[in-house]
Each structure stands twice: as C-alpha cells, then as structure tokens.
Amino acid sequence: MGFPHPIHERETPVLSRYFGDAEARGLESWKKRGGYKAMEMALGMSPTEIVNIVKESGLRGRGGAGFPTGMKWSFMKLDDGKPHYLCCNADESEPGTFKDREIMRWTPHALIEGCAIGAYAIGAETAYIYIRGEFTEPIYWMEQAVKEAYAAGILGANAMGKGKRIDVHVHRGAGAYICGEETALMNSLEGRRGNPRIKPPFPAVSGLFGMPTTINNVETLAAVPEILNQGAAWYKGLSLSNPKSTGTKLFSVCGNVKKPGNYEVVLGFPFKDFLYDLCGGPLDGRKFKAVIPGGASVPIQTMEEAEGTLMDYEGFIAGGSMLGSGGVIVIDDAQSMVKQIARLARFFAHESCAQCTQCREGTAWTTKILERIRDGQGTMEDLDTLMSLAENMTGTTICVLSDSCATPVVSGIRKFRHEFESLITGKRVHPVMAAVA
Amino acid sequence: MIGSDEKGAMGGHSSPDLSSHDSHAHEPHVAVFTGAARSELDTLLSRYPTKMAALLPALWIVQRERGWVSEDSMAEVSELLDLTPAYVKGVVTFYTMYHQHPVGKYFIQVCTTSPCGMCGAEDTVRALLQHTGTGELGVTSPDGRFTVIEVECLGACGFATPIMINEDFIESVTPEKVPQILAGLA
Ligand SMILES: Cc1cc2nc3c(=O)[nH]c(=O)nc-3n(C[C@H](O)[C@H](O)[C@H](O)COP(=O)(O)O)c2cc1C
Ligand code: SF4
Ligand code: FES
C-alpha cells in the first residue's frame, strides 16, 4: 500500500498488506493473519524442494541486482559438512529507497519467517539480519519479534518442534552505505572495517566467517513465505509484462511528487500511470523533469523515457535505466539537474570506502568538478573531463560504488547537457532554476 | 579538503571531527563492562563463532553507556575481545555513528542527500542551527545541549526531511516545526 496513504485500487498489496496495522507486529495477531504456516510447511519439506519452488516462482533479488533467488540458493552445497550462513541485507541506504524499513517496522515476523525458511533451504542454522545503525525503530521491532519467536519455540535449538536448529539474530550497523555491498556487509558483521572483498571467492563458497553464505535483501526474503503459502504458480502469474519479471515489487517514491511513499504493484505496471495516478503527479504548478527510478545508482531517465517504461527488470533497461532497488526519485522543473547530480556525486564520494584509487580519487574529482560547474565556474572542457573520469571509474574497481557514481553523471550529461552548458556559458535555462541554482 | 584525508579523498568514512570539545580526555577510565553490561556482552558473544564479531555491538554498548567511545573504552573492548587497541580504533573510525569525542546532550543528524535536498532539507538545517544556538555544523552549543550535523540518506526519503535526535527518528521536519520539536526536549 502507498503507506502512509490508503491502498490504491491499482496496487497489489502482498508484502505491504499490513503496513500501518500496528497489531500485525505481535506474534499472536500475526499468526491470526496466517503467519508461520509457511515455515511449518517448509520444515516438513526437503531444502531442495523449497529451492525448486522459489526457482519456479521466478522471484528475483530485490536488493538491486535482480539475481534469481532460487538459483542463488542452489549454489549452496548441502552436506559439505561446513556451517552455512544466511545474511539478510537490511542496510537500506541507497538514496531514494525506504521500503525495507516499512517491512521491518510493520511486519517483522514476515521477515523472520522468510529468514528461517531461507536458512533451512540453504542448509544454514544461523541467519543474521544486518540493519543499518540509523534504523532505531525497525531494529526495536525486529528485536521484539525475534524475542517473541524464541519464546514461542519458533526459533532456537528445536525450531517449531521439528528437530532443526534455526537461529535468527539482529545485528546493528554503525553508519556506512558501503556495508550494503554484500561482502562489505560480511566484513562488517565479522567486526571489521566495511571494505568490500575481491570476488571470487563468491559468498556461496567463502562468505561470512569464511563459510558458505547466501545474502538476500529484506524484501526478497519477506516474499518467500507467501510464495510457499500460495504457490509458485500464483507468484509467477503475477506479471504484467514478461515471464522474467514476476511477483509484486515495493517502489519507494520520493522527491517532487504529490504523494511520496511506498507503493506495491505487480511487475510490468506502466510507469506513467504509476507516477501520475498512484503517486498523484507533480506538485501544483510544476512539471516532472526527470526520474531516477531505482535508487541513486541507476541512470537518470528523461520524462519521455519514463513515461514509456514498463516497471520491470527488462522494462527499465529498455527505458534507459535500471530497476535497481525500486527507489523512485522524482525531479521536477524547479530543480537544477547539475545541482542534484553534484549532490549525488558528493554522496558517493563520502561513502567510498577508499580502497580503490579509481573510486577514491574519481568520486572526489567528479564532485569537485560538478560543484564548480554548479557554481558557474565550469568550462566546456570540464564536461569532457567528467566523461573520461567516468569511463575510468566504470568496471575497474573492487565493487560497483565507483560505477554508481559515474552513472548519474554520464546519463545526466547525455540527457541534460543543455543545463550543464548554460551554467558554463552563463545562460540560465529558465528563471525558476536560476533561483534555486 | 580534497585529497587531504588519509581515509578517503573526500573524507571517506569517519565520524565528524568534534575534537575541540574533548574535555574528558584525562579522567580515569571506569570500566563499562561490569554488571548488566557485562552479561549483555556475554549474551552477544554466544551469537557469533568469533569474538571479533561482537565488536560493533560492544561499541554500541559503550556509546549507550558513556555517550561516546573514548580511547580508554576502545582499550577495554580490545581486551575483552582479544583484539589490539589499534585494531579497534581502525574499526571505530570507519563508521560514522561512533562518536570519538563527547557531543551535545542532543545529537541531531539531518539528511541533506539529493531527495531531501530537493524538498527543502537545507532550510531545515538552517532552522536547526539557528534555534539550537549552535550556529555551525559539528559545533556543540555553548550550553552543551546541542550538536547538529548533516548526514547522508537516512532511508526515509519519502518523509523529507528526516532527522535523528540521539536514537529518535523524526520524519517530515520543516523549518516551521523546528522550534516546537526542540521545545519538547527536556
Ligand atoms: C554500494 C552497494 C550498496 C548496496 N546496498 C544494498 C542495500 O542497502 N541493501 C541491499 O539489499 N542490497 C544492497 N546492495 C546489493 C547487495 O550487494 C546484494 O546484491 C543484495 O543484498 C543481494 O540480495 P538480493 O539477491 O536479495 O537482491 C548494494 C550493493 C552495492 C554495490
Ligand atoms: S569501488 Fe569504491 S567503495 Fe567499492 S571497494 Fe573500491 S573504493 Fe571501496
Ligand atoms: S535522501 Fe534523505 S532520507 Fe534518503
């Protein structure tokens, strides 16, 4: 649902059904809403059976990359005699994204159930939910729910009385966007600086504590119980575009839009209807100018591109961007693109873990040059420098934070070059922009 | 500023530098991990296969008990977890939320990343600086009550502008609401 708005008739609330319903947080009332039935069923199946159901459902990772979840789980070699781990990525720090927060605040037991099923399916006894340090309220509700689940025997040495050990622990981060990158998260959980690791080895071979590990986003794991309850075919049937994008997806909407908030739609939903109908369109007297549809790391779309996009993994690529985390940042005609892109670059520069030269220096210089252009001190040559910096920052580093910084810059210069040029040549694009630039 | 920081060209990950207010540096260290805090740590240790993994949680306990993480506390933690003090310091300095120096009674973090910036975060920052009497980012007010800093995305972008006052999260803060919010603090 469009929390904090009521459910829109064109939404399909599966994960968000109980957002805003404080009662759903408690174990007993959660059970009344069908909670923990899927876990009970799962513990009676073989891990491989569960993996196959998830594979068949078509569920793909909701953390950014869209990797097929069932396939990821199948990389875990069962019976290799090693402890396995499940990490739930609740670091949610991608600008524009605030959906995992609502899942944890309103339906903590849905996530615990998803973690327990996921852990069992990959042969793990322990799942850690790594939550960003600033999320004090989600941490509080998750910890309460974990306590309740232990007290009720749902978690622990003999989970649900089925003879399996399943532990779920909440682990608090301490402020660092980079800890959302999967191997940085593992380092951080181990008590280290959150530097991403060089891959390979991949987590399924050597992850947390050097053991086989699977890492999934909050929304991915929270979707699992309902897939078991209603079946893979049901989930697969939730698709408005193509069979590679199935299920519902939470989109967080922010920026210059009438009704910011979270909306849950079936993948393949028309983006134009989403923006104007569900989200209420632009603020009075203003016009949409651009959208960053998948969190700050994906290419900027012009409105022409956005309005022709179908909201799924393939659709956003066809529309010149990516689905990413589903954090939709809407930018209107009162904003200077240069100013916003410069601020995003500053974000990445601040969050670079500084291991790789291209990233450490590249994000810093990109920011410096963009701020110079923003302040009217840029030259045409700066645009070429930015493009060549971006090229050096892409595909050359340990993780993709470096690429993520280059992305809005390259797409911004390509699609809104006139705004950069007019700041350089001293010609304002229009009066509203001059006032805010 | 660019290129001047060992951790990263733009400052990388580090707590804000609030060193001008480090007045407690020479008081003798009173151990944090005694009584309830000690058993809390023992419970935490049982959750991980290594002691090191309890480091971030242990530092959170220190900050909760003392308001900041001093070098003495780092030394205490390093002994409990079989680490070196230098290692612990290396970890502390990576993360932005551990205070390496005392801060105001009310530590206020304001998001100014683009999505909030487009919705007026800068005005909210100005109002906070004005009404807390801090005047400047990262500086503690003369009465020791407030420190205001800008932070990156707080993960609540649809509710611009979110701020945190110590452990409390407040959404949709506008300049007009600032006086009332501050008045509500003890
Ligand atoms: C810099 C960076 C930050 C990331 N932040 C997050 C995050 O906050 N939450 C998340 O789920 N995934 C994040 N990811 C993606 C994770 O590395 C990983 O792909 C994801 O957690 C896998 O889960 P999924 O397969 O369920 O999507 C980030 C990646 C990078 C490179
Ligand atoms: S790309 Fe940037 S954030 Fe990623 S590992 Fe390298 S320096 Fe760190
Ligand atoms: S940009 Fe301000 S909370 Fe995300």
Each residue of A243-260: pLDDT tens digit? 999 999 999 999 999 999
Inter-residue contact B159 to B146 (CB < 8 Å): no
Which 90-119 residues of chain B touch chain A by CB within 8 A? 90-91, 94-98, 109, 112-115, 117-119
Residue A434 has pLDDT above 70, yes or no: no
Residue with tokens 């989970």: A159
For chain A, percent of residues with pLDDT exceeding 70: 97
What is the pLDDT of chain A when averaged over all its residues?
96
In three-state form (DSSP H/G/I as H, E/B as E, the rest C), the secondary structure along A5-31 is: CCCCCCCCCCCCCCCCCHHHHCHHHHH
Tokens at A188, concatenated: 């951080």
Report the alpha-carbon distance of residue A41 to residue A98 in Å, rounded: 31
Q: Average pLDDT of B4-30?
A: 54
Report the alpha-carbon distance of residue A94 to residue A105 in Å, rounded: 18
Each residue of B136-163: pLDDT tens digit? 999 999 999 999 999 999 999 999 999 9
pTM of the predicted model as reported, rounded to 2 decimal places:
0.95
Residue A426 is predicted with a pLDDT of 86
What distance in angstroms lies between residue B112's CA and the mean position of ligand 3's atoms? 7
Report the alpha-carbon distance of residue B28 to residue B181 in Å, rounded: 36
For chain A, percent of residues with pLDDT exceeding 90: 96
Tokens at B84, concatenated: 């070196």
For residue A147, the surrounding DSSP H or E stretch is helix A136-151
Q: What are phi and psi of A168, to 5 degrees?
A: -125, 125
Residue B136 is predicted with a pLDDT of 96
CB neighbour burial string for A141-162, b if at least 16 within 10 angstroms, e if fewer = bbbbbbebbeeeebbbeebbee
Q: Which ligand is nearest to the CA of A344?
A: 3
A95 closest CB neighbour out of B54, B55, B157: B157
What distance in angstroms lies between residue A402's CA and the mean position of ligand 2's atoms? 6
Residue B2 is predicted with a pLDDT of 38
A177 closest CB neighbour out of B10, B90, B152: B152
Please, what sign has the CA dihedral across residues B42, B46, B48, B50?
positive
Residue B148 is predicted with a pLDDT of 97
Q: At CB < 8 A and 24+ separation, what contacts does A144-147 make?
A: A144/A25, A144/A108, A145/A25, A145/A27, A145/A108, A145/A109, A145/A112, A146/A108, A146/A112, A146/A170
Residue A432 is predicted with a pLDDT of 52
Each residue of B27-50: pLDDT tens digit? 789 999 999 999 999 999 999 999
Q: Average pLDDT of A162-182?
A: 97
* Contact pairs from chain A to chain B, CB under 8 Å: 179
Q: What Å distances lie between residue A385 and A43, A333, A436, B102, CA to CA?
A: 57, 27, 26, 42
Query: Which residues 6+ apart lie within 8 Å of A424 measured at CB?
Result: A373, A378, A379, A380, A382, A383
Looking at residue B47, its amino acid is R
Residue B14 has pLDDT above 80, yes or no: no
Q: What are phi and psi of A71, to 5 degrees?
A: -65, -45
Cβ contact B2–A365 (<8 Å): yes
Q: What are phi and psi of A178, to 5 degrees?
A: -65, -20
Q: Which one has a higher pLDDT value, B73 or B17?
A: B73
Residue A343 is predicted with a pLDDT of 97
Residue B21 has pLDDT above 70, yes or no: no
Would you place residue A429 in the very low, low, confident or very high pLDDT band (cuts 50, 70, 90)?
low
Each residue of A339-387: pLDDT tens digit? 999 999 999 999 999 999 999 999 999 999 999 999 999 999 999 999 9
- CA A178 vs. chain centroid, Å, equals 13
Residue A55 has pLDDT above 90, yes or no: yes
Looking at residue B131, its amino acid is H
What is the pLDDT of chain B when averaged over all its residues?
90
Q: Which ligand is nearest to the CA of A396?
A: 2
Tokens at A45, concatenated: 């199946």
Inter-residue contact B109 to B159 (CB < 8 Å): no
What distance in angstroms lies between residue A134's CA and the mean position of ligand 3's atoms? 12
Chain A within 8 Å of B153 (Cβ-Cβ)?
Answer: yes
Would you place residue A2 in the very low, low, confident or very high pLDDT band (cuts 50, 70, 90)?
low
Each residue of B44-58: pLDDT tens digit? 999 999 999 999 999
Report the alpha-carbon distance of residue B142 to residue B133 in Å, rounded: 8
Query: Is the Cβ atom of A148 under 6 angstroms away from ligand 1?
Result: no
Residue A3 is predicted with a pLDDT of 73
Report the alpha-carbon distance of residue B160 to residue A257 in Å, rounded: 12
Residue B71 is predicted with a pLDDT of 97
Each residue of A268-290: pLDDT tens digit? 999 999 999 999 999 999 999 99
Residue B12 has pLDDT above 70, yes or no: no
